[in-house]
Each structure stands twice: as structure tokens, then as C-alpha cells.
Amino acid sequence: MSAAPDTHQPRGAALRQPPAIQRFFGSTIVSVLIYAAVMAAIIYGSFTGAQNMGYNWQWHRVPQFLWTFTDDGIEMGEMFYGLGVTIQLSLTAFALATAIGLLIALLRLSGLVVGSAVAIAFLEFIRNIPLLVLLYLFYYVLGPIFGLDRYTASVLTLAVFHSALISEILRAGINAVAVGQWEAAKSIGMTTGQTYRYIILPQSVRFMLPPMTGEVVHLIKSSAIVSVIAVAELTTIGRNIISDTFMSFEIWFTVALVYMAVTLILSVGVSFLEKRYAVDQ
């Protein structure tokens, strides 16, 4: 960014940024320092604020909700149980969202008028409803009609909500494959289905991996919303613990850290995968 020519900037001394300053604030070390300073200020602020409120910190009571050491080894605490449900919920919803997303993407790519109309109507419907309202629709409206329990309603809500973005990711990935690949596959007599399966989708993976990772992270985070219908996942468990112990600061910090740890591990894992798929292409 620092190397960008400044010829497009408006003339006039006042508006022209000296490149040295841009370079200074753009450099990695300065960015990290600024970030650390901001974080320190937030943490310091919340701790002194808590102190002034007379908040009684009890961090030593937190680990038991994560794990306890017994004679038989480590026993997982309530929060890990909740994390397990969050992960199971998210993975199920993600698998379903991908299936729906692929269907929608293929409908749009099919060139069939009816197919793309259905897909576009679905996309517009999902895009223009808040996630929370969608959850209420599934739980309070469709739930009684179809006999959905809270867990199923949650999975369906998350799957349907995220399928919209996932279908766009899949469509972009499919379109990113060179048109010559289609022609080569057709010219050896492959069907459209075979062409997708053996030629196009395997090549789309590398285009899809980065945005798909973002979408999984997004899904894991938005799964917290199902705590409003009391599905026993991480956020609900956190809230329950707080109502028993009144340690709201410690528990919410811990819950946030657990979400962060999971999503960071996921991102790192996928960047390894990306390297693998980048090979030989």
C-alpha cells in the first residue's frame, strides 16, 4: 500500500499524505504495537471499571467449568460439553448448508428459467430476514407444525441462513474454472454431472476454501443465537453457569476465548489445506 502512486490524489498540499507517514503506520511492527496498546487499554479499562464497581473477581472458580482433575484423569466440565454441542450443531448445519447451497448454485447455473427463478427467490427471501426472526419462524411456527424439537429447528435455521452465502461462494468457485475445461470435458463426451464431479468441482475447491473457512467461522459464531431458545450449547451453558455463580465477567470472557480458540484453530488448519490444494495446479 505504501508503494501506491499518489498521482490519483487531489492536488493541494493539505490533502497530500507524506508517504513516510503512511509507511510508518502501515508497517507490521507499528500495527502490532497499536493493536496491543488498544487491547491493553480495553482490558485495563474493564478491570479498573470492575474494580470501581466493587466487582469480586473469582477466576479460581472458572477452571472447574472447563475441566477437573480426578483420580481417573481429566474430566471435562460443563463448558466443554457446551462446546461439544456447539461444534456438533455447527458441523451438522454446515453440511446441510453446503448441500442446500450446492443445489441453489446448480439451479442458478443450470440456465433453466424456472430453476434460476426459484434459486433467486430463495436467496432474496433468506437475505432479507434477520437470523433471529428466521430462528423464531423455525421454532415457533414450523416447529409445532412439523414437530421439530429445538435442536432440529436450530440446525435447520443455521443451515438455511448460511446456505445463501455458501451458494454464492460455490457459484463463484465454479465460475472461476476456465471455460476451456468445460469444452474439453464435453468434447470427450462427459455428461454435465460427470463434468461437475470429475473436472469442475475438484478445481473449484482451491477458489472456495478461503471464503468457505470464513463462512464456517461465521456459522460457529452465529450458532450462539440458538441460546435464545435454550439449546444447551456453549453460550447457553455460560449463561446457566452465571445464573448459578454470578461470575458474569469471568464466564463471558472465558466463553469468548473458547469461541476464539476454536475459530483460530480452524483457520490455521485450513491454511494448511490450502497449501495442499495449491500444489500442482
Partner 1 sequence: MTDRTPIIEATNMDKFYGDFHALKDVNITVHKGEKMVVCGPSGSGKSTLIRCFNGLEFHNSGTLVVDGIEVYEGAKQIRALRQEVGMVFQQFNLFPHLTVLENLMIGPMKVRGLGRTKAEETARKYLDRVHIPEQADKYPSALSGGQQQRVAIARSLCMETRIMLFDEPTSALDPEMINEVLDVMVELVDTGMTMVVVTHEMGFARKVADTMVFMEAGRIVESSPPEQFFTNPSSERCRLFLDQILEH
**Is residue 50 part of the contact set for partner 1 (CB under 8 A)?**
no
How are the residues of the chain apportioned to helix, strand and coil, as percentages rounded to the nearest 5? Answer: 80, 5, 20
Listed ranges 34-42, 50-58, 195-203, 234-242: which one lies at the site for partner 1 (CB under 8 A): 195-203
Exposed e or buried b per residue across 256-270, where buried means at least 16 C-beta atoms within 10 angstroms of its C-beta: eebbeebbeeeeeeb
Nearer to partner 1, 40 or 184 (CB): 184
Per the CB < 8 A criterion, the answer to whether 58 and 191 are in contact is no
Least spacing, CB of residue 108 vs partner 1, in Å: 21
Per the CB < 8 A criterion, the answer to whether 163 and 126 are in contact is yes
Size of the site for partner 1 (CB under 8 A): 19
**Is residue 174 part of the contact set for partner 1 (CB under 8 A)?**
no
**Is residue 203 part of the contact set for partner 1 (CB under 8 A)?**
yes
**Is residue 198 part of the contact set for partner 1 (CB under 8 A)?**
yes
**Is residue 184 part of the contact set for partner 1 (CB under 8 A)?**
yes
User: Per DSSP, which regions of the chain are E strands?
Assistant: 67-70, 73-76
**Is residue 181 part of the contact set for partner 1 (CB under 8 A)?**
yes
Nearer to partner 1, 160 or 174 (CB): 174
Q: If 0-12 CB within 10 Å is exposed, 13-18 middle and 19+ buried, where does residue 245 land?
A: middle
Q: Calculate the dihedral angle through the C-alpha atoms of 265, 268, 273, 276, rounding to the nearest 10 degrees.
A: -150
Nearer to partner 1, 26 or 202 (CB): 202
**Is residue 110 part of the contact set for partner 1 (CB under 8 A)?**
no
Least spacing, CB of residue 18 vs partner 1, in Å: 44
d(CA 232, CA 238): 10
**Is residue 114 part of the contact set for partner 1 (CB under 8 A)?**
no
For residue 69, give the DSSP letter: E
- For partner 1, the binding residues (CB under 8 A) are 178, 180-181, 183-191, 194, 198-199, 202-203, 280-281
